[in-house]
Amino acid sequence: MKVDAGVREAMLAAVPGLRAFAIALCGKIDHADDLVQETLLRALTHIDSFEPGTNMSAWLFTILRNLFRSEYRKRRREVEDGDGRFSASLKSQPGQPSHMEFQEMRSALAKLPPDQREALILVGASGFSYEEAAQICGTAVGTIKSRVNRARTRLAEILAIKDLNEIGPDSTMQAVLSRSDAG
Amino acid sequence: MRDRKQIAAEAPTGSTTLKRGKPPASLSPEIQAKLGQQLRAYYAGLIEPTPDRFVELLRKLDKGGNEEPSG
């Protein structure tokens, strides 16, 4: 198959974000890379359905999201992949920052229902608008808004995020850390 | 037994774009900001340059070198 140079460039440019989305969704780098590869193959097979001039990134995210969801449904029928197993698989990832907040966020995201997780990542991290996220997930804008809201509330509970006046020590700690970095 | 005034008082002030329907989540703007910042920091940590395997994949396909299984 012949790939238009512009299309190829657009795809390659979208890969880092697409891959981050996949890792955030499934929590495993190997699995995420497989999802990205399958997404690119499908995208090329169905390149005719891509409208030039529209958002390549959003199109690829849609394909990847659908792949992940159909895998997830299939897997859930086979094995119940509980939170524990998901979290455990995250701890042994090489080459990832290992600081507390990072690990905490990973396991917290794993505890969200998949529909809330994808909505929150798309809107809160990948930088899509509610409208784009709704298109990617094939649902209504209002549904995305409510999923994002529920995901935020749940995540704040899991991470036990406190009000600003309660996280004062945090900034003190940061000041100490940056001072020791400098010296 | 919650009246409208009470519900309004609990809503975050001027932070969300929700116009109607259910009351917005009860997270304060401070908590939402903190959460958003943590989520974006996490996500930024996942962004890496495109792995070579994908560059290779697209290059190979471009040359028509892939043998697709039929079906």
Domain ranges of chain A: 1-81
Closest-CA residue of chain A to B53: A37
Write out residues 140-179 of A within 8 Å (CB-CB) of B: 142, 145-146, 149-150, 152-153, 155-156, 159, 161-164, 167
Q: Which residues contact B1 (CB under 8 A, 6 or more apart)?
A: none
Q: Which residues contact A166 (CB under 8 A, 6 or more apart)?
A: none
pLDDT for the residue B14: 41
**Chain B contact set for A23 (CB, 8 A):** 46
| Cβ atoms of residues A36 and B54 within 8 Å | yes
Please tell me whether residue B65 adopts helix, strand or coil conformation.
coil
What angle is formed at CA A106 by the lines to CA A71 and CA A100, rounded to 5 degrees? 160
Cα separation of B39 and A132, whole Å?
19
In terms of pLDDT, which residue wins out, A42 or B13? A42
Rounded average pLDDT over A116-130 = 97
For residue A9, pLDDT beyond 80: yes
What HEC string does B45-58 produce? Answer: CCCCCCCHHHHHHH
The CA distance from B31 to the nearest CA of chain A, in Å, is 6
What would the pLDDT profile of B32-63 be if each residue is shown by its tens digit?
999 999 999 999 999 999 999 999 988 887 77
Q: Give which of B6, B32, B48, B43 is closest to A21, Cα–Cα.
A: B43
Q: Do A20 and B62 touch (CB under 8 A)?
A: no
**Chain A contact set for B64 (CB, 8 A):** 1-2
Closest-CA residue of chain A to B71: A45
The DSSP code for A47 is: G
**Residue type at position A119:** A
The CA distance from B34 to the nearest CA of chain A, in Å, is 8
In terms of pLDDT, which residue wins out, A151 or B69? A151
Pick the CATH number of A1-81 from 3.90.1150.10, 2.30.30.100, 3.40.50.2300, 1.10.1740.10: 1.10.1740.10
Task: Say how many CA atoms lie within 13 Å of A86 toward its Cβ.
Answer: 24
Q: Which residues contact A132 (CB under 8 A, 6 or more apart)?
A: A55, A58, A122
Provide the pLDDT confidence category of residue A160 given band limits of 50, 70 and 90.
confident
**A62's torsion region: left (phi>0), alpha (psi -120 to 50) or beta?**
alpha
Residue A85 CB neighbour total at 10 angstroms = 12
Cα separation of A105 and B43, whole Å?
10
Closest-CA residue of chain B to A32: B46
What would the pLDDT profile of A56-72 be if each residue is shown by its tens digit?
999 999 999 999 999 88
pLDDT for the residue A175: 54
Q: Do A163 and B40 touch (CB under 8 A)?
A: no
Q: Do A142 and B48 touch (CB under 8 A)?
A: no
CB burial class (10 A; 0-12, 13-18, 19+) of residue A156?
Answer: buried
The DSSP code for A49 is: G
Location of structure tokens 């608008």 = A129
What would the pLDDT profile of A74-91 be if each residue is shown by its tens digit?
877 765 545 444 544 454
Which residue among B18, B38, B66 places its CB closest to the CB of A101? B38
